[in-house]
Structure 1
């Protein structure tokens, strides 16, 4: 399946956006499903996410780190393994952030990815991206 791709514009310079959006320690601040993050050795980290009611833990490895433009991670374990790429494009004093998210299913995950996981990502990702924008721009939008 094709990756799920989203774009947002943030009224902050690209280097600031990149530093924030690629810092795993900050994921719980803006990613709606992240409960906590533990930094590991080298380019690895472990996230605990709430997916529905249960919480799932997965280890991820940074596969691309090209500041302030491109960053990518790949999950190393679990039945559902997300692969994400973030690209930050400078637009003067603004930035365009592109998120590409795909999932690899292993075992039972092969069934969950097309039936549950991709649908949940399409619903939850906009919430996270809105929170990211609000955090970085210091603005709270009402809705």
Structure 2
């Protein structure tokens, strides 16, 4: 199991950050791996709702279906992904109050489906995924700290 953890403190209340990050239409604006989203994208998704995302992770493109598995607004949100019907990973967002802002933690976990993938993951993929995840959280911080009105 590979675990990628990224976090930042954002100068917005948890409810605002939660609403923004759990609304799929916003993902391409802050996550470099998110190319496009389709389906229920215009609102903060609830348990059982799903969305399809076109992605590019570590140079590899594909499509994943994310389904909300758990939601405790405004502190926790978990989505499970499938690619071609097989489990592709889990993303969790944990939000805690931090003074006048929010400590936002993003965790992406995934398993290697084959020995070859496991070797590639160990050699290079994990480092690339970690860097992309860290960049995503920093982009989110810059976007939300900028004081712009959220859509």
Fold agreement, TM-score > 0.5? yes
Unaligned residue ranges in structure 2 (runs of 5+)? 41-47
1:125 equivalent in alignment to 2:133: yes
Distance 1:51 1:3, change over 3 A: closer
* Equivalent in 67, 72, 82 of residue 76 of structure 1: 82
- Partner Cα distance (1:118, 1:54) in 2: 13
Partner of 2:113: 106
Q: Matched residue pairs, number?
A: 138
Deviating 4+ runs (over 6 angstroms):
none
- Partner Cα distance (1:44, 1:100) in 2: 19
8 Å CA contact retained: 1:80, 1:109: no
Listed one character per residue, the Cα deviations across residues 11-46 of structure 1 (whole Å, up to 9, x for unaligned) are: 111100111111111100000111100125x51111
Which segment drifts farther, 26-35 or 79-88? 79-88
Indicate the RMSD between aligned Cα atoms, in angstroms.
2.2
1:64 equivalent in alignment to 2:70: yes
Listed one character per residue, the Cα deviations across residues 91-113 of structure 1 (whole Å, up to 9, x for unaligned) are: 23210011111112335655544
TM-score by length of 1: 0.84
Distance 1:65 1:72, change over 3 A: same
DSSP 3-state at the match of 2:128: helix
Listed one character per residue, the Cα deviations across residues 74-104 of structure 1 (whole Å, up to 9, x for unaligned) are: 1122477121110000123210011111112
Q: CA deviation at 1:5?
A: 1.8
Partner of 2:104: 97
DSSP 3-state at the match of 1:3: strand
